[in-house]
Each structure stands twice: as C-alpha cells, then as structure tokens.
C-alpha cells in the first residue's frame, strides 16, 4: 500500500459537523463525502456514469465481473454493476480504494461556538455561520498507486476552483496545498469516459466557476459589508473583526441576498430552485455557491470564488436563459459586486476569471472538461 500526505492551509473555515451539530474536529466522513460529491460531478462531466447514492447505490456482482470479457478493468467493473465513481469510493461488495486520516493542527475559527447570524439589509432572517476549523491540516491517504494518483489530481482541482468539506454553498472549505509527501507516482491524466448525456445531477459540463479578485479602496472595508455592519456593538462584532484580521470575511450572505432578493425573477419558485430551499419536507440544494472573501499573499488583495451549475431539468430548460442573463449582469462588472456587498468606496482594482472556459455559462464537452482538469497536473512526487 502506498501513502500520500497532503498538507493544506485553510483560506476559509473547513466544516465537517459533529454529533452535537458543532464542528468539534475535522471528521473524515465529512471530507470523504465532499470528495465523492466533486468526483461524481467530474465523472459525469467526462461523460461517464456516477450513481446517485441517495437514490441508488451500486452493488458489485462478482459473477458478472468474472464473466466480463472486457479487457479494460474499468469496463469489467461497470459490467459488474460498479459505476465510475463507486470504483474509487466503494459500494456494496466493493471496498473504497483508499483510507483517509486527518492529522490536524487546526483550531476553531473563533472561540465559544457562537454563531454569526448574518442578516443583510432588508432581511428579517439570515444565514447562520458557525466557526468551523482553520489552520493547517495534514491528510494522510493510504491506498493503491492509481487511487492516490486520482485523489491528488482531485485535490489539485479543488485547490484551484472547488472546496473541501460540507457546506460549500455557505462559503466553507477553500484551501491551499502547502506540502505533498509520498512515494513517487506518475501524474494522473483525466480523459473522456463516454458520451452519457447531461442529466439532473451535478455535472461539470454544466458548471461555471468564477473568481472575483479586488483591492479595496477603503481600510477595514468589511465594516460596511451588508449583514456584518449591523453586528457592530453586539457580542458578535469582535468575532467579525477577529476573522477579518485573519484574512477571512463572510461576504457570502451579501451576495446570495443580492442575487436572490434584489433581482427581478419571473417566477416565485425559480429562486427556490436556484438558491435552495427548506420548506416542510421539501429540500433543494443550492446550485449557487460563493466563498467568503479571503486575503491573498498581497495583504491588500482579496478573492471570492464561486460556482453555478444548471442541471438539465424542467426549471433549467424553462428559465435557463433568464438565470444566465441575471448572473451575467450581476457578476460581470465590479460595481455590481460593490453594490452586492454594500460598500460605498469603489475598488482600487478588480478582475474576474471564469472556468472551465473563459466564455462563461455555456456547456462544455467531455474533451474540454478533460483539458480543464489536466491543466492542474503537476510533476510526479519525489
């Protein structure tokens, strides 16, 4: 068995939850669930098949595996009832191809486990943000060489555009890899897995990733952010000041509020579909994510990353053009970001980058997704 150690530094808090609803430590199960969710989106984006484990999980059939005449191991496992995602993450009868252990030097993002109830201007309800964990975390991965090579490639992608751990829609989980240790292994190359059509599950072909980078024109600009400024004079205010000086500002509620409530949507149900809802037994996950603002190496420069995916379902087919128009208008000019955050002082500089294509909001093909993912490839570890 091979071993790979990936050390990361948090740029926004990591969250995995715990038995009492708090993030007392980083739980391996929460991290693995997050890795699987992204891996499934990648598999579908490459035209492969990834089952929905919430609806139906694969089951390995050893007899079908033996009888398969395929020369390719991946196809033999498909013939045996194991989808492309379960081949790495496991299913009934087929063990996960790796083990994960967390070696943490992390700490709570703030003390006391007090939540921040961030209510942007005009809202009577807001977003509850809990501390999560910040600092340095080493993840020890043990498994076969091929599995570890795939996981390293996955981490490279998540470092560049994604997130680690649950609650990415609340801005958690942005990180930077600081060190990689392990046995020498060849870089993993992503490649198209088939021609499966886009469906209603997360599929990288339907994602648009973006990064908003800016240099503020005012000192302590976070004092003005919609939803944070009303906390001034309250017990939560020292928390806001503390995490801001640590290089993390929870601007996610301001952006979500701006897009969900300050735009003219043609359907009342459309924002529920796009931004998620929890009404009675109805649960819908948000298809829009904004991170917190995190400070870059230049102490005056900040970045916010995010993504939107538009699955092939009835709402997307009916309202996709409208959603794209609203998102384009809300993100393409820095004056709109300034307005969303409630800042009165213009940015000194601002830019936006999109992926997987510099032309956003268009579906990409499997080959384009493979090229995008391989752009994060690194030299073999030594």
Query: What residue ranges do the domains of the chain occupy?
Result: 2-182, 204-365
The secondary structure of the chain in percent helix, strand, coil, rounded to multiples of 5, reads 35, 25, 45
- pLDDT at residue number 211: 96
C-alpha to C-alpha distance for 115 and 121, rounded to whole angstroms? 19
Cβ within 8 Å of residue 181, ≥6 positions away: 4, 5, 7, 381
C-alpha to C-alpha distance for 305 and 162, rounded to whole angstroms? 8
- pLDDT at residue number 106: 85
- pLDDT at residue number 182: 85
Q: Is the torsion defined by CA of 75, 81, 84, 90 positive or negative? A: negative
C-alpha to C-alpha distance for 323 and 316, rounded to whole angstroms? 8
Strands, DSSP E only, in 183-216?
207-215
Dihedral, CA atoms, 262, 264, 266, 269, nearest 10 degrees?
0
C-alpha to C-alpha distance for 229 and 237, rounded to whole angstroms? 8
pLDDT digits (tens, 9 = 90+) for 222-235: 999 999 999 999 99
Residues in the chain: 382
C-alpha to C-alpha distance for 218 and 368, rounded to whole angstroms? 40
295 exposure class (CB count in 10 Å sphere: 0-12, 13-18, 19+) = middle
- pLDDT at residue number 282: 66
- pLDDT at residue number 376: 81
Indicate the CATH number for domain 2-182.
3.30.70.1900
- pLDDT at residue number 125: 86
Strands, DSSP E only, in the chain?
2-10, 98-104, 107-108, 116-118, 127-129, 133-134, 136-143, 175-182, 207-215, 248-249, 277-279, 282-284, 288-290, 293-295, 301-309, 349-355
Tokens of 240: 């806001």
C-alpha to C-alpha distance for 163 and 167, rounded to whole angstroms? 9
Residue ranges of the chain with per-residue pLDDT less than 50: 379-382
Strand 301-309 with 293-295, pairing: antiparallel
- pLDDT at residue number 381: 47
Query: Would you tell me how many other CB atoms lie within 10 Å of the CB of residue 223?
Result: 15
C-alpha to C-alpha distance for 176 and 174, rounded to whole angstroms? 7
Helix (H, G, I), strand (E, B) or coil at 160: helix
Query: Cβ distance 84 to 193 under 8 Å?
Result: yes
- DSSP per-residue codes, 58-73: -B--HHHHHH---SSH
């Amino acid at each position: 068995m091979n071993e790979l150690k990936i050390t990361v530094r948090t740029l926004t808090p990591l969250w995995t939850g715990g038995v009492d609803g708090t993030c007392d430590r980083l739980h391996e199960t929460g991290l693995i669930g997050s890795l699987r969710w992204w891996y499934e989106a990648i598999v579908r984006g490459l035209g492969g098949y990834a089952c929905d484990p919430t609806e139906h999980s694969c089951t390995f059939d050893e007899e079908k595996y033996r009888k398969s005449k395929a020369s390719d191991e991946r196809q033999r496992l498909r013939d045996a009832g194991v989808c492309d995602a379960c081949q790495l993450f496991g299913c009934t009868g087929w063990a996960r191809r790796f083990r994960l252990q967390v070696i943490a030097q992390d700490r709570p993002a703030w003390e006391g486990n007090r939540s921040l109830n961030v209510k942007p201007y005009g809202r009577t309800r807001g977003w509850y943000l809990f501390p999560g964990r910040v600092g340095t975390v080493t993840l020890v991965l043990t498994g076969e060489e091929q599995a570890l090579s795939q996981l390293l490639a996955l981490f490279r992608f998540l470092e560049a555009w994604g997130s680690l751990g649950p609650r990415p829609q609340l801005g958690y989980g942005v990180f930077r890899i600081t060190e990689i240790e392990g046995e020498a292994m060849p870089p993993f190359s992503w490649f198209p897995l088939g021609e499966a059509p886009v469906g209603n599950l997360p599929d990288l072909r339907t994602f648009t990733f973006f990064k908003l980078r800016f240099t503020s024109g005012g000192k302590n600009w976070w004092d003005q952010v919609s939803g944070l400024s009303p906390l001034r004079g309250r017990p939560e205010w020292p928390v806001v000041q503390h995490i801001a000086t640590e290089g993390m500002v929870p601007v996610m509620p301001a952006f979500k509020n701006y897009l969900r409530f300050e735009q003219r949507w043609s359907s009342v149900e459309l924002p529920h579909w796009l931004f998620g809802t929890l009404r009675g037994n109805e649960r819908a996950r948000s298809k829009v994510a904004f991170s917190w603002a995190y400070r870059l190496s230049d102490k005056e420069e900040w970045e916010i990353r995010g993504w939107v995916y538009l699955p092939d379902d009835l709402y997307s087919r009916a309202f996709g053009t409208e959603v794209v128009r609203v998102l384009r208008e809300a993100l393409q000019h820095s004056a709109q970001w300034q307005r969303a955050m409630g800042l009165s002082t213009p940015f000194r500089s601002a830019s936006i980058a999109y992926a997987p294509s510099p032309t956003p909001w268009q579906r990409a093909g499997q080959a384009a997704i493979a090229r995008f993912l391989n752009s994060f490839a690194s030299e073999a570890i030594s």
